[in-house]
Structure 1
Amino acid sequence: MHEFRRIVSYLGPYRRDAIMGILLVVVESAFEMVIPILMADIIDVGVAGRDLDFIFRQGVYMAICALLSLITGLAYARFAARATYGLGARLRAAEYERVQDYSFANLDHFETSSLVTRMTTDVTVIQNALNAGFRPMVRGPVMLIIGFILAFYLNAELALVFVVVAPVMAISMALIVRRVGPLYGVLQATVDKLNDVVQEMLTAVRAVKAYVRGDYECEQFRRVNQGLAATSEHTFRFAVLNMPVLYTSMYTATTLIMWFGGQMILGGALEVGELTGFLSYVLQILNSLIMISNVFLLLTRSLASIHRICEVLDEPIDLASPEHALEEVPDGSIEFRDVSFKYRADARECALEHVNLSIAAGSTVGILGGTGSGKTTLVQLIPRLYDVTEGAVLVGGHDVRAYDLAALRDAVAIVLQKNVLFSGTVRENLMWGDGKAAEEELLEACRQARVDEFLDRLPGGIDYDLGQGGVNVSGGQKQRLCIARALLKRPKVIIFDDSTSAVDTATDASIRQNLSRLTGVTKIIIAQRVGSVQDADQIVVLDDGRVHAVGTHGELLATDSIYQEIYASQTRGGDTSAPGDYLVSDTFLSSAAPDDKKVSDTKLSPGASFDREGGAR
């Protein structure tokens, strides 16, 4: 009930509409419940006494009650719709805003497909439950209470039939709800799995086609889809039992009342009109019980969705700005003081262990290391995307935990290893870096990131529509657009996480040359190629989450075995990005555009050359 009250609290300005809806249902039900009494009087008084004036007068009263019931019902529908769909809109907005506050660690707790389901399907389940159940939720209990009172008022002896039938119905419904309740949670989890498969296939559809794995993906979808069908069948097999139970009880009660009522009429203890009116209340009471049972089933399913939504809303945010937070980052100096980090508190091993590192403001630092050595993890601690487990990270001479999060992240630009572009034009994507940037500033950032090499070839140039996720450009073009976007932030620290892996060496060198002209900006470059970092002021070699060596290219080449091994493997032709041995990358498979013929996206035979625009010849 705590979670239910939590969801209801999101009615906000729609609370008044909900209250008005409840009051209108009560009034509507009251008008309807008066009609059987008027009908009984028509039969017992008007028909029995052949009093036409009385019959007409009572008929007018019945018509007025019916009309007022109709008017209040229509008014209820308006208020209920506003309250229901207003609640749904506010719930989706609250979930979306909450996710924006999540740290990377919070996001690790949820599958992307599950978050999508919780913001769409689960909210829709709650909306449908309230939309379909709002009226019976109020009307059922009101009609049940008024019906019992008026039934006892008409004939207390016949009303005792309900005392026997009602407990049987209540116990049967309780057993059904108890059995079905947990199954709805399983059903929503199965919907998560289905969404996960669909999302993964649509995201990687080009790779699926390239590897001719369509049949495999269809089999995966068929398996999950059949699982959802089987779970739904198992759930609703029990849920639909409520109707046979209720109708059996209703017809049993009606038969008993007709039997006992007929005996009482024959004995002169009951009038025909009184029995007719009583049967009307029987139907009203039993219909109210049916409504209540349906509401219970709707609420049972919605409770599973409510719990899932509350998990999103109640997820404790593990990263937040402190009180009296620093609003300005003085410079781009960075220091790691005995830093250790685990992605999860219960993890057996640290992703980073006892890292000590000092980076001067305005310097250029390269980071090399094997897969899983902790390169990306290290730089994600700088803008406080994660918090350290032990030790401290300092930026501008202050612990990152002392800064306002927005101020810190505005001062630190990071080009993520996985390129992210949004639906919209090139201009709209670049302006994520600076929403007020002028045309000249946008074009200058494009020049520095070498976006200008292909920008003129795009229809519409800077106003070219990139499509969802930048599907209309290649991997190398995506990387350069992301670099240009980061440059527009004018940060004090800029981090390139293997962000030129999909561009050719000539373009990579040109970008590095342009970046070297940036003054007052600390540049951290994570790369797989020695050539991308050999001109850095210092190079950090990571190995298994630890700093293995720090020095210049010449120093490490003379003293460090890991660096020597990396350098030797690449200069002997082992570097897959060296000229003459280019391979088709996974980035190309997922996002290559037909008009982009960069050498990084093209298979060249050894010794092949390429023209200035990057096309092989």
Structure 2
Amino acid sequence: MMKLLRLLKPYRVLVSFVLLFVFLQSLSDLYLPTLLADIVDKGVVQGDNPYIWKIGGFMLLIALVGGLCSIGASYLSAKSAGGFGRDLRSRVFAHVEKYSLHEFDQIGTASLITRTTNDITQVQQVLMMMMRVMVAAPMMCFGGIIMALYKDAHLSLIIIAIVPILALVILGVVSRGVPLFKVMQVKIDKLNLVLRENLTGIRVIRSFNRTKHEQGRFNDANMDLTDTAIKVNRIMATLMPVMMLVMNFASLFIIWFGGLRIESGNMQVGDLMAFIQYAWQIMFALIFASMMFVMIPRASASATRINEVLNTVPDIYDPAGIPRRANASDSAAGLPSVSSGELAFNNVSFHYPGAEMPALSDISFTASAGEVTAIIGGTGSGKSTLINLIPRFYDVSGGSITVGGVDVREMTQESLRAGIGLVPQKAVLFTGSIADNIRFGKSDATDEELRHAAEVAQAYDFISEMKEGFDAPIAQGGTNVSGGQKQRLSIARALVRRPSIYLFDDSFSALDFKTDAKLRAALRSETTEATVLIVAQRVSTVMDADRIIVLDDGRISAIGTHRELLQSSTVYREIVTSQLSEEEIA
């Protein structure tokens, strides 16, 4: 947790004022019982009304100053803790954006969401409380003991005897609660995972009538978390009653022995009243400390989880071991960028982390600018994996991938991806308008560029039919447009970028044959100077390509044109005959 507190550095002035205000508030609280003792002993007992009014007015002034300091401390602590939480969330989000897909798989999306929200909130709340209690509790405790000793040293032995008992109670409760707080955060991850799967897969769940099954999964995860929460809260709930019991017994002994000392003339009534208040201040300081001890274990567990995210080093790095980072001046820095679209795989192999078998083995081919290279193969043959290696979502396990003769690992990831237009297998749209989604490929694209990209992607017709046209809203995940419309908008997003390399990962699967053919014809004239890679399941999508690569079980089975492969490749011929009739093949 101490590592995270370094993020408080920009707020050190605010924190200093918080500590100052808390210090002044504690001084006022410690001074008030002494003034009360003076009013009783010198004013009430002696019947000196002017003295009562004088000291009473002074007490009101001290209380007012203490109240203002308390308000100031509350405001500034909330402001600095809120800023800390905002900065930490931004830092975690920025770091997670540097992750390769391997780190996302390793930690899990549900866990990353929990760590960015719930865990940071836990730390933020404790920090806000800590800034006040870390000064107030020790000062009230030790200051109260000093003032109590000043009032009556003999009676103070009761307080001195009680403090270790309270400390042992706090230690015992906290030592049992800490492990359970860590378990709770893991179970919140599990609950989020089940909930996220249920919400994202609701269509599949309902279509297979698995609603009750998913309800059972959620209830199991929910009850598991609830049982742990009840257990840890039951342990923590014992803290307050035990401390109050000890404090009340302490008060009983103080009044008893204090009365005896007043009777013997060794103590005055006002001093006893002040002594009781100091005793309660000491006890409440310990209660505040115990509350911190209750909250710190959970915050500590959360801080550990946040640090795991921040300390996770991405597998994929930019040149010279620099972690991935946006850098608009790669060319000025002498780093290579995508200037030519020629793409080459040189004996590439790839293993997914933890996998026993390679996903790709000994892949070698060249895709030149102005050509269309198609990749086809059975399910699980490695087509999408091959595409994911080009923008370095994963790094190759062996061999190399070059763009314009330069190894992609020698480029910064931003400069590499700036030259790539990717249309993923699953079309992804974002909340906003149609124009916002197409401009995701090029933020400064003009209206004319948007229109042109939409026309080439065969999306302009359905966009123009919408009431608001390019300003028509897109719901979260693109749920208010069809699958084919989502694919065409995703293609337009890549086209507006005008990259050197186009990667279409089975991006025409939701299109009818007529739209597919029109789109590919439009792409031909649009990508005359770019390298185009098309991954497809349909033979009709790839048969006009300049080069077709047939993948089989992670290896290249054959390379050639449609006509050549019909003669030379058994695998390709089987795919073709399963989709086309004899007349279509001929």
What TM bracket, shorter-length normalisation? Answer: over 0.9
What is the alpha-carbon distance in structure 1 between the residues aligned to residue 356 and residue 256 of structure 2?
74
What is the alpha-carbon distance in structure 2 between the residues aligned to residue 544 and residue 430 of structure 1?
35
Task: Please say which of residues 279-288 and 176-185 is displaced more in the overlay.
Answer: 176-185
Task: Please say which of residues 330-339 and 497-506 is displaced more in the overlay.
Answer: 330-339
Secondary structure class of the residue paired with 1:479: helix
What is the alpha-carbon distance in structure 1 between the residues aligned to residue 99 and residue 336 of structure 2?
20
Structural mapping, 1:215-614, within 5 Å: 215-323=212-320, 324=333, 326-344=335-353, 346-517=354-525, 518-571=527-580
State the AA in 1 paired with 2:374: G
State the AA in 2 paired with 1:366: A
Are 2:186 and 1:177 equivalent residues in the alignment? no
Secondary structure class of the residue paired with 1:71: helix
State the AA in 1 paired with 2:555: R
CA deviation vs aligned residue, 1:329-348 (integer Å, no higher than 9, x gap): 2211112222222221x432
State the AA in 2 paired with 1:427: A
Kindly state the Cα deviation for residue 393 of structure 1 after the two structures are TM-superposed.
1.1
Secondary structure class of the residue paired with 1:358: strand
The aligned residue for residue 108 of structure 2 is 111
Kindly state the Cα deviation for residue 212 of structure 1 after the two structures are TM-superposed.
3.5
What is the alpha-carbon distance in structure 2 between the residues aligned to residue 235 and residue 504 of structure 1?
58
Residue of structure 1 aligned with 2:202, choices 189, 199, 205 = 205
Kindly state the Cα deviation for residue 261 of structure 1 after the two structures are TM-superposed.
2.1
What is the alpha-carbon distance in structure 1 between the residues aligned to residue 466 and residue 174 of structure 2?
60
Secondary structure class of the residue paired with 1:496: strand
Structural mapping, 1:115-126, within 5 Å: 115-126=112-123
Kindly state the Cα deviation for residue 72 of structure 1 after the two structures are TM-superposed.
1.1
Cα–Cα, structure 1 residues 533 and 133, in superposed 2: closer, same or farther, change >3 Å? same
What is the alpha-carbon distance in structure 1 between the residues aligned to residue 24 and residue 392 of structure 2?
57
Secondary structure class of the residue paired with 1:117: helix
Aligned residues: 571
What is the alpha-carbon distance in structure 2 between the residues aligned to residue 570 and residue 247 of structure 1?
80
Residue of structure 2 aligned with 1:13, choices 10, 13, 21 = 10
Contact map agreement 1:136 1:292 (CA 8 A) in 2: yes
Gapped regions of structure 1 (runs ≥ 5): 579-617
The aligned residue for residue 602 of structure 1 is none
Contact map agreement 1:24 1:72 (CA 8 A) in 2: yes
Secondary structure class of the residue paired with 1:455: helix
Contact map agreement 2:336 2:406 (CA 8 A) in 1: no
Kindly state the Cα deviation for residue 126 of structure 1 after the two structures are TM-superposed.
2.4
Secondary structure class of the residue paired with 1:433: coil
Secondary structure class of the residue paired with 1:168: helix
State the AA in 2 paired with 1:17: L
What is the alpha-carbon distance in structure 2 between the residues aligned to residue 157 and residue 543 of structure 1?
90
What is the alpha-carbon distance in structure 2 between the residues aligned to residue 21 and residue 533 of structure 1?
68
What is the alpha-carbon distance in structure 2 between the residues aligned to residue 360 and residue 279 of structure 1?
88
Kindly state the Cα deviation for residue 353 of structure 1 after the two structures are TM-superposed.
2.1
CA RMSD of aligned residues (A): 2.0
What is the alpha-carbon distance in structure 2 between the residues aligned to residue 24 and residue 101 of structure 1?
41
Are 2:91 and 1:94 equivalent residues in the alignment? yes
Kindly state the Cα deviation for residue 102 of structure 1 after the two structures are TM-superposed.
1.9
State the AA in 1 paired with 2:271: E
Cα–Cα, structure 1 residues 68 and 220, in superposed 2: closer, same or farther, change >3 Å? same
Q: TM-score, length-normalised on structure 1? A: 0.88
CA deviation vs aligned residue, 1:309-360 (integer Å, no higher than 9, x gap): 222222212223225562532211112222222221x432222222222222
The aligned residue for residue 590 of structure 1 is none
CA deviation vs aligned residue, 1:250-290 (integer Å, no higher than 9, x gap): 12222222232233233332222222211110000001100
State the AA in 2 paired with 1:307: T
The aligned residue for residue 157 of structure 1 is 154
CA deviation vs aligned residue, 1:57-91 (integer Å, no higher than 9, x gap): 32232222111111211222221121121112212
Cα–Cα, structure 1 residues 535 and 315, in superposed 2: closer, same or farther, change >3 Å? same
Kindly state the Cα deviation for residue 132 of structure 1 after the two structures are TM-superposed.
4.4
CA deviation vs aligned residue, 1:467-514 (integer Å, no higher than 9, x gap): 111111111111111011101111111010001111111111111111
Kindly state the Cα deviation for residue 207 of structure 1 after the two structures are TM-superposed.
3.3
Secondary structure class of the residue paired with 2:432: coil
Gapped regions of structure 2 (runs ≥ 5): 321-332
What is the alpha-carbon distance in structure 1 between the residues aligned to residue 99 and residue 341 of structure 2?
25
Kindly state the Cα deviation for residue 134 of structure 1 after the two structures are TM-superposed.
3.7
Kindly state the Cα deviation for residue 178 of structure 1 after the two structures are TM-superposed.
1.4
Secondary structure class of the residue paired with 1:221: helix
What is the alpha-carbon distance in structure 1 between the residues aligned to residue 557 and residue 539 of structure 2?
16
Secondary structure class of the residue paired with 1:365: strand
What is the alpha-carbon distance in structure 2 between the residues aligned to residue 374 and residue 104 of structure 1?
16
Kindly state the Cα deviation for residue 365 of structure 1 after the two structures are TM-superposed.
0.9
Kindly state the Cα deviation for residue 133 of structure 1 after the two structures are TM-superposed.
4.7
Task: Please say which of residues 202-211 and 238-247 is displaced more in the overlay.
Answer: 202-211
Secondary structure class of the residue paired with 1:356: strand
What is the alpha-carbon distance in structure 2 between the residues aligned to residue 325 and residue 213 of structure 1?
56
What is the alpha-carbon distance in structure 2 between the residues aligned to residue 348 and residue 325 of structure 1?
39
Q: TM-score, length-normalised on structure 2? A: 0.93
Secondary structure class of the residue paired with 2:318: coil
The aligned residue for residue 76 of structure 1 is 73
Q: Which portions of structure 1, spanning 4 or more consecutive aligned residues, are displaced by more than 6 angstroms?
A: none
Task: Please say which of residues 464-473 and 330-339 is displaced more in the overlay.
Answer: 330-339
What is the alpha-carbon distance in structure 1 between the residues aligned to residue 352 and residue 7 of structure 2?
33
Kindly state the Cα deviation for residue 572 of structure 1 after the two structures are TM-superposed.
5.1
Secondary structure class of the residue paired with 1:500: coil
Kindly state the Cα deviation for residue 401 of structure 1 after the two structures are TM-superposed.
1.0
